[in-house]
Amino acid sequence: MIESRKETRRKRKARKETKLKRLIVLNTLLLVTAGTLGYGIWYAGNDPEDASPSTERTTTAANNQEASEQTKPVAQDVPDQVKRPENLPDAEHQEPEKSNPSGPEVAEPDSSKAPNPSSSDQALIHMNFVGDILLAGTVEDRMMKEGWNTPYIFVKDVLSKADITVGNLETPVTKHNEPQKKSYVFKSSPDALPALKDAGFDVLSLANNHILDQGRQGLLDTMEAADEAGFERIGAGKNVDEAYKPVMMTKQGVKVAFVGLSRVVPEGSWKAGPSTPGVAETYDTTRPLKEIRKADQTADLVVVVVHWGKERQEQPADHQQELAHAYIDAGADLVIGAHPHVLQGFEQYKGKWIAYSLGNFIFTTNSNPKTWDTGILETTCTKKGSCALKLIPVLTKYGQPKLMDAVAGSALRKRISDLSKDAAVDAKGIIIAD
């Protein structure tokens, strides 16, 4: 009997312990489920992709501020924040279907590729650069027949979206007739400039080997016509001081200094003198480096637009690299080259970008296909001097540039990657340090 009671008490105790264990397990499961559900509700209302900039700055502002005081950040990628047309006509004046891989490339905005400035460096400026612009010869003939806006029909939307668009005007704009003794002599009507301005161009470099094709009077007329059309101009002037004087422009809170220079001067008389009109030459770097250093003291960014190199040579001449490095050492943040009539590669030096040649943008057409390849260089820069670059492939024939189709654009990006020094152009056209 005693053994039976003990056994009963033991069984009753075991049943209580089993119920207690089950209750603990059930409560634990309920707590985990409630916690998971609560976290999901919180997360849905606090998606990191939708967080405001102030949310991220709460934890990173101090580190970013310290880093920005020590060095200027180097942006590797360029954002697609400059919107481009969504239905740009193709070469046959028709809207390309989105599924057609051979239609013009129209990049979508990609804000993840933007530079990541610190809280004290939020301002961003978008600038577009192109190569040589010739508004004479057969190009002018076509414009007079089809309209002065003919060269810009397929690229205006890209050009005009930037805060500042810059090109090299490789022709005098004048009615004066004083052709110089040289192999190629150009001249364009002042009527061509309003359409160029309307296409989105803001700054014109006059530092090149054709701007005095109609003598000093032709240059003076060109400067006057450019002023009347509303352009800023660099690289030439009524005297040496005006020729070398940087143009200062402030957009989006960023102050930019533009300097125009030429190392291609047909003869000594073309160089600007103390009281004579001419171009700002850079065979002697004394004055150019002085102006760059001075500009660097007052501007957030210094951009040098330079005419140099050898025609139809895809590799930069030695003097191009030497000059580019000297400009950057003096304070330049971006160096943009022209004159070779073909595209050359890119280089990053001390965190600053060099575009050795952007080729022809609007020009007469010859039999060399490489002179038909060009591009629009999109840049996004911070106040601290960090610039991100993207190349938009363009085919230019008969004075009318058009965005390349997908296949041609891919081939061009690969070719420019191969030509670049320690740099590459990726599948989206973004220029990266290699």
Please state the rounded mean pLDDT for residues 145-167: 98
Please state the rounded mean pLDDT for residues 207-230: 98
The answer to whether 202 touches 232, Cβ cutoff 8 Å, is: yes
Please state the rounded mean pLDDT for residues 252-266: 98
Task: Give 103's pLDDT tier (boundaries 50, 70, 90).
Answer: low
Task: Give 434's pLDDT tier (boundaries 50, 70, 90).
Answer: confident
Q: Is the pLDDT of residue 391 over 70?
A: yes
Report how far apart the first and last C-alpha atoms of the chain are (Å, whole number): 91
Which of 217, 216, 299 is CA-nearest to residue 259?
Answer: 299
The percentage of residues in the chain with a pLDDT greater than 70, rounded to a whole number, is: 72
**Tokens representing residue 164 in the block:** 């500042």
Which of 207, 203, 171 is CA-nearest to residue 190?
Answer: 171
Q: Is the pLDDT of residue 430 over 80?
A: yes
What is the model's pLDDT at position 58?
33
Q: Cβ neighbours of residue 313 under 8 Å, at least 6 residues apart?
A: 340, 342, 344
In single-letter form, the type of residue at position 326 comes to: A
Q: Is the pLDDT of residue 267 over 50?
A: yes
The pLDDT tens digits of the residues spanning 6-59 come to 565 565 666 656 666 665 655 555 554 554 444 444 433 433 333 333 333 333
The pLDDT tens digits of the residues spanning 366-387 come to 999 999 999 999 999 999 999 9
For 228, half-sphere exposure in the C-beta direction (CA atoms, 13 angstrom radius) is 13
List C-alpha distances in Å: 421 to 131, 316, 432.
20, 10, 11
What is the model's pLDDT at position 9?
56
What is the model's pLDDT at position 72?
37
- CATH 3.60.21.10: does it fit domain 121-433? yes
What is the model's pLDDT at position 75?
37
Residue 374, helix vs strand vs coil: strand
Across 43-169, the runs of DSSP E, i.e. the strands, are 124-133, 164-169
In single-letter form, the type of residue at position 93 comes to: H
What is the model's pLDDT at position 29?
54
Please state the rounded mean pLDDT for residues 193-221: 98
Which secondary structure element, helix H or strand E, spans residue 65, and what is its range?
helix 53-70
Cα–Cα distance measured from residue 295 to residue 293, given in angstroms and rounded to the nearest whole number: 5
The answer to whether 277 touches 236, Cβ cutoff 8 Å, is: yes
The answer to whether 426 touches 420, Cβ cutoff 8 Å, is: no
Report the mean per-residue pLDDT for the chain: 82
The answer to whether 423 touches 431, Cβ cutoff 8 Å, is: yes
Mean pLDDT lowest for which of 29-33, 291-295, 424-428?
29-33
What is the model's pLDDT at position 122?
77
Cα–Cα distance measured from residue 355 to residue 391, given in angstroms and rounded to the nearest whole number: 10
Which secondary structure element, helix H or strand E, spans residue 94, and what is its range?
none
Q: Is the pLDDT of residue 321 over 70?
A: yes
Please state the rounded mean pLDDT for residues 231-254: 98
What is the model's pLDDT at position 31?
53
What is the model's pLDDT at position 22?
64
Beta bridge partners of 307: 262, 338
Please state the rounded mean pLDDT for residues 235-259: 98
Query: Cα dihedral sign for 213, 218, 220, 225?
Result: negative
Which of 123, 151, 112, 125 is CA-nearest to residue 396?
Answer: 151
To the nearest 10 degrees (0 to 180), the angle between helices 318-330 and 286-298 is 40
Task: Give 87's pLDDT tier (boundaries 50, 70, 90).
Answer: very low
Q: What are phi and psi of 246, to 5 degrees?
A: -70, 150
Regarding predicted confidence, which is higher, 339 or 14? 339
Q: Is the pLDDT of residue 339 over 50?
A: yes
The percentage of residues in the chain with a pLDDT greater than 90, rounded to a whole number, is: 72
The answer to whether 343 touches 359, Cβ cutoff 8 Å, is: yes
Which of 423, 395, 389 is CA-nearest to residue 411?
Answer: 395
